[in-house]
Amino acid sequence: MTRLSYERRMLLLALAAGLPAVIVGLALLWTGDYTDKVQWTLTVLVLSAWLGFAYALEGRVVRPLQTLSNLLSALREGDYSFRARSPRRDDALGEVMGEANALADTLRQQRLGAVEATALLRKVMEEIDVAVFTFDGQERLRFLNRAGERLLAQPTERLLGLSARELGLGSFLQDAPARSVQLNLPGGAGRWEVRRSTFREGGMPHHLLVLSDVSRALREEERQAWQRLVRVLGHEVNNSLAPVKSIAGILENLLARAPRPADWEEDMRRGLRVVESRAEALSRFLEGYARLARLPSPRLQPVDAADCIRRVVGLETRLQVSLEPGPELTLSADLDQLEQLLINLVRNAADAALETGGGASVRWRKNGAYLEILVEDDGPGLPSTTNLFVPFFTTKPGGSGIGLVLSRQIAEAHGGTLTLENRDLGQGCVAQLRLPIRPA
């Protein structure tokens, strides 16, 4: 059975609403004492009025709905220029039309913002010096930026739709999400950092592949490291060779004199001792650099953190180091390297405390997935923390300047951090060592 449309149902309801009155009126008209002309004239007039008002009511109900339907259809198609009009805003129909117009304005603003954001994103993607590729579920290329074009040395039109394997990038979609590899592609060769992630578009999984060239950054860091190394080595070597050269010249003049002075042998011995002293100092300096370069990778094993800390504190005999108890924890660390690190920190704190006659303390605590060890002292504090971790920089007379550098290398090799700063309350400084309880 065919269902009636909404318009026909509204028309039938309007006709049904007036039908009882029409029947009663026509019955009274035709049973009354009226001439045929009057009866037919009034009958036509009543029926015409009845049908006219019924169709008018249908139009008043259906046309606003058609207008609203056209407006919603335009919104669905992305056309936000249509607006619905209603003569009144204080009735139900006016409220509906007003809300529809407000919805159109909101969607228009949102679409404008989305278009502008997308344009900005595309502009940024085009200008950044990082190759970006997106692949669909079948690993076919769907998007790449200008850096990707340069890397593959082909225009976008020829690359879109090709598979990752055809582009030489297939292995990156299967391996680890982030890694550093050596690449040799048509548009570039060198060391690249590869990052992979997934996202969904249209309900389907896609792959995002980002390749950034780290060769230039590595070369720049290497150049700066060599410059710093040469500068430090040159400074220390010159400091040792300058007095050696001067004393060698003096001794040569002494041997060339005739007759030689009576105490020339003592002068020779004194000069040679100075040469020996500077040679030993230069040897210690180079040995310190070798220690920094030869630090082995940590051999991880279970370590009782509390027992290790108590044992290291007990090695300091020059003053009584206060030890505050903390939680019993087991680390995965290299015991020898960890002890060396803690010995350096406790010794530095004791040296600072002895300068002012103050004390030193060690405490530890658990902070999330990390163990925090705090070594505090009541010493004079640090005038500056800028160069603390620069190799061979020291504020202590006779210091080697490699203790803190070596300690930070050990901490970072274990996935932790080491910081040294002045205390907020009182004089002195605090060294904070953070180590992961479980290795990454």
| 173: DSSP letter | G
- Give every CB contact of residue 400 below 8 A, 6+ residues apart in sequence: 284, 288, 392, 394
Evaluate whether 54 touches 11 at the Cβ level (below 8 Å).
Answer: yes
Confidence (pLDDT) at 168: 81
DSSP alpha helix (H) spans, 257-324: 264-293, 305-314
Instruction: Look at the alpha carbons of 146, 203, 195, 415 in this order and tell me if their dihedral is positive or negative.
Output: positive
Polymer length of the chain = 440
- Answer yes or no: are the C-beta atoms of 333 and 301 closer than 8 Å: yes
Q: In terms of DSSP H, where are the helices of 128-263?
A: 146-152, 156-159, 215-256
Could you give the CA distance from residue 346 to residue 375 in angstroms, rounded to a whole number?
A: 7
CATH architecture of 301-436: 2-Layer Sandwich (3.30)
* DSSP 8-class letter at 415: T
pLDDT recorded at residue 129: 79
Q: Where are the domains of the chain?
A: 6-76, 128-213, 218-293, 301-436
- Rounded to the nearest angstrom, the gap between the alpha carbon of residue 156 and the centroid of all alpha carbons in its chain is 29
Which pLDDT score is estimated for 150? 83
If you write DSSP's letter for every residue of 19-50 in order, what string do you get?
HHHHHHHHHHHHHSS--HHHHHHHHHHHHHHH
Dist. CA 432–CA 440, nearest whole Å: 20
Q: Report the CATH superfamily, name and number, of domain 128-213.
A: PAS domain (3.30.450.20)
What pLDDT is attached to residue 95? 77
- Could you give the CA distance from residue 13 to residue 234 in angstroms, rounded to a whole number? 104
Residue among 119, 154, 159, 153 nearest 135 (CA):
159
pTM for this prediction? 0.42
Instruction: Output the tens digit of pLDDT for each of the chain's 440 residues.
Output: 567 777 788 878 888 888 888 888 888 888 888 888 888 888 899 889 888 888 888 887 778 778 778 888 887 877 777 777 765 666 777 777 777 788 888 888 888 887 787 778 777 777 777 888 889 888 898 888 888 888 888 888 888 888 888 888 887 887 777 777 777 777 766 777 888 888 888 788 888 888 887 776 666 666 676 666 666 566 566 666 767 777 778 777 877 777 777 777 787 888 787 777 777 766 766 665 566 556 677 888 999 999 999 988 888 878 888 889 889 988 889 888 888 888 888 988 888 888 888 889 999 999 888 899 999 998 888 776 555 555 554 555 544 456 677 788 888 888 888 888 888 877 888 999 999 887 54
What single letter denotes the amino acid at residue 341?
L
- What stretch of H or E contains 396? none
CA distance 19 to 41: 19
Rounded Cα distance between 185 and 188, Å, is 5
Q: What does the pLDDT read at residue 361? A: 92
Q: How far apart are alpha carbons 303 and 309 in whole angstroms?
A: 11
Which residue in 198, 192, 207 sits closest to 129, CA to CA?
Answer: 192
- Identify whether 259 is preceded by a cis peptide bond (ω within 30 of 0): yes
| CA–CA gap between residue 287 and residue 402 (Å, rounded) | 11
Reading the block at residue 72, the tokens are 């919603």
Rounded to whole angstroms, the Cα distance separating 192 from 181 reads 5
Q: State the pLDDT at residue 433.
A: 92
Q: What is the pLDDT of residue 362?
A: 93
Given this model, what pLDDT does residue 399 score? 47
